[in-house]
Chain A
Amino acid sequence: MTAATTSKKLDWRASRHARHVVSQVFVYALLLAGSFVFITPLIWMFSTSLRPEWEVYTYPPKLFPNYWFWENYPEGWSSLIPFSTFLKNTLTITLFNVTGNLISCSLSAFGFARLHSRYRNVLFMLLLSTMMLPYEVTMIPQYVVFAKYLKWGNDFKPLILPAWFGWPFGIFLLRQFFMTIPFELDDAARIDGASTFRIFTQIMLPLVKPAMATVAIFAFVGNWNNFMAPLIYLNSMSKFTMALGLRLFQGQHATHNQHLLMAVSMVNITPILLLFFFAQKTFIRGVALTGIKG
């Protein structure tokens, strides 16, 4: 090998290296700018919630307050609107619904994945098609039955009951998981004399725990943030959920109490953020899963 080709080769390597460095710098610059844009609104929410009133409506706005005014939290929480009640209501509804979803979805998904029935595939297609059905189509007749005929207006029952009868998305996700479990396990258990129900509770359920966690998390987030159903059914303040309370606060007091509104908002999103930080893997995997298997 002559000296000329060696140096040419080195040149080529150097230019390739330089190109690599430039593209890396470019990637990091974009990532930093992007994450700045995405995270700033949350920081802004947090910083507004910590400002004394006289620093809220100033121009130019400061990203961080001079003094951290934690007093906003107790003040926003209790002075104008009974948020403790709303939190209790939201927790009640959410916990009942998550439990109901887990029980009903796992049972239905087990049926779809493991039990033989002539109509199974037709029913499964029906299930998938209901995922496309707008809530508004069923909302009005449901409302008429619950509120007008059963007199359940201003009651949690219409908000909780449907969750105990399955949730198409959850059933679909769990079914995909049940499908991956080998049938030999069922057969072995059956030979040992286990009933179908026992196979379900003692063999299948422990195996689909990760998927159950995913369903539980999505159900929690969905119910926590649910707005339309509580809005149409609940009409007295003692029954309101956090979402309704926030909207009430915004409608009545927001013009002069932006800092308090942001404080209550922060409290409202905290459970979701905590859930995310403690169960990050389940979250990310669950979201990715819905996309790939869908």
Chain B
Amino acid sequence: MPWMIGFICFSAIPIVASLVLSAADWPMLQPPTWVGFGNYAEIFGRDPLFRKSLVNTVYYVFISVPAGIVVALALGILLNQKVIARPFFRTCFYVPSLVTGVSVAVLWSWLLNPQFGLINHFLSLFGIQGAEWLYNTKTAMPAMIVMSLWGVGGSMVIYLAGLQGIPEQYYEAAEIDGAGTWKKFQHITVPMITPTIFFTLVMGVIGSFQTFTQFFVMTNGGPANATLTYVLYLYRNAFEYFRMGYAAALAWLLFIIILIVTILQFWGAGHWVYYEGELR
């Protein structure tokens, strides 16, 4: 099984190596010196940027992931109505999610351009004064969150599949009992779709905690570190300040944070995720 070799070489050894490295002070050009928990002490004790980047990332994750779920679910429900031209609408919503990485960053920098960008122009049509977006500490992060919503097409397709899996009989039975649209949504659609919501929530949180490319290309953490994300800070430590040990310690902390958040989600899932029968 090649995966075994791959796992050992590219995951298992690096994980251990990463832990070992995190106990070292290693500026790459000189041999490492062992500092024990020194890196961790510095991270927690006297690194304001660590705190800043963590707060920024948590802010981003906590807003963009739930907002993404709401938008994707809403689009999925709309598409799940008996509409003609469903493939056309589905394509419109899905295609933007294929544009990722640097392309999306380059495009949105231009859309968000305060002077010539389309977004401010669109707002001005409604008499709304546009913002400086990426150039203002207050609006930079919200702009990045709005941009992340543009890529919800993937989870929308997942919701659409989940919605189509709900048996029609449930709705018919509810109609006979006199349930209206809202009641049907509340008591059939939502409970039946909770496993899908849970899945996108877990994957979304894991993914958003590691967000890097757009931030690196569009703002590089600015203005005034307002969009300095955790991984961006980690990258700087490793490849700009060449503090490999310190970066490894940051990486381990990120892993532990993601692990704890994921475990909490699984633990909380019992209270709101509904699994039909014993399917899982």
Contacts and interface: CB of A to CB of B under 8 A. Distances in A.
Interface of A: 23-24, 27-28, 30-31, 34-35, 38-42, 44-45, 48, 56-61, 103-105, 107-108, 111-112, 123, 126-127, 130, 132-145, 148, 162, 164-166, 168, 171, 221, 225-228, 231-232, 243-244, 246-247, 250, 254, 258, 261-262, 265, 268-269, 272-273, 276, 280, 283-284, 287-288, 290-292, 294
Which interface class (under 10, 10 to 19, 20 to 34, 35 or more) fits B?
A: 35 or more
Interface pairs A-B: 5 shortest CB-CB = A165-B6, A291-B158, A166-B3, A288-B161, A35-B92
Contacts of B106: 246-247, 250, 254, 261-262, 265
**B contacts with A: majority SS:** helix
Interface stretch (B40-48, B61-69, B109-117, B268-276): B109-117
B128 interface: no
A31 B83 CA distance: 10
Given A39-B92, A134-B209, A136-B254, 16 more contacts: A41-B107, A44-B111, A44-B118, A61-B121, A103-B2, A108-B1, A133-B255, A134-B255, A166-B2, A166-B7, A221-B100, A228-B212, A243-B102, A272-B99, A276-B95, A291-B158
Contacts of B75: 34
Interface string B229-266: 00100110011000010011011101100110010000
Nearest to B71: A34
Contacts of B94: 283-284
B13 interface: yes
A226 B78 CA distance: 32
Contact of A59 (B121, B153, B206): B121
A141 B14 contact: yes
A165 B9 contact: yes
A56 B78 contact: no
Contact of B98 (A23, A56, A105, A272): A272
B199 A166 contact: no
Given A134-B251, A141-B21, A262 B78 contact: no
Given A262-B110, A273-B95, A136 B78 contact: no
B129 interface: no
A137 B251 contact: yes
Given A31-B79, A132-B258, A250-B109, A141 B89 contact: no
Given A107-B1, A288-B157, A291-B162, A59 B248 contact: no
5 contacts: A38-B95, A137-B18, A139-B14, A139-B238, A244-B102
Nearest to A126: B7
B167 interface: no
A139 B244 contact: no
A291 B88 CA distance: 22
B99 A42 contact: yes
Given A60-B121, A265-B107, A292-B165, A227 B101 contact: yes
Nearest to A275: B98
A34 B88 CA distance: 12
Interface in B26-74: 28
Interface string B128-171: 00000000000000000000001001110111111001000000
Given A140-B247, A288-B160, A291-B196, A162 B10 contact: yes
B173 interface: no
A61 B116 contact: yes
B251 A139 contact: yes
Contacts of B238: 139-140, 143, 232
Contacts of B109: 250, 254
Contacts of B11: 130, 133, 138
B258 A123 contact: no
B199 to A, nearest CB: 5
Nearest to B239: A232
A148 B203 CA distance: 33
A27 B76 CA distance: 12
Contact of B6 (A104, A132, A262, A292): A104
B78 to A, nearest CB: 5
A127 B7 contact: yes
B15 A133 contact: yes
A138 B248 CA distance: 9
A273 B6 CA distance: 31
Contacts of B176: none
B169 to A, nearest CB: 20
A278 B42 CA distance: 53
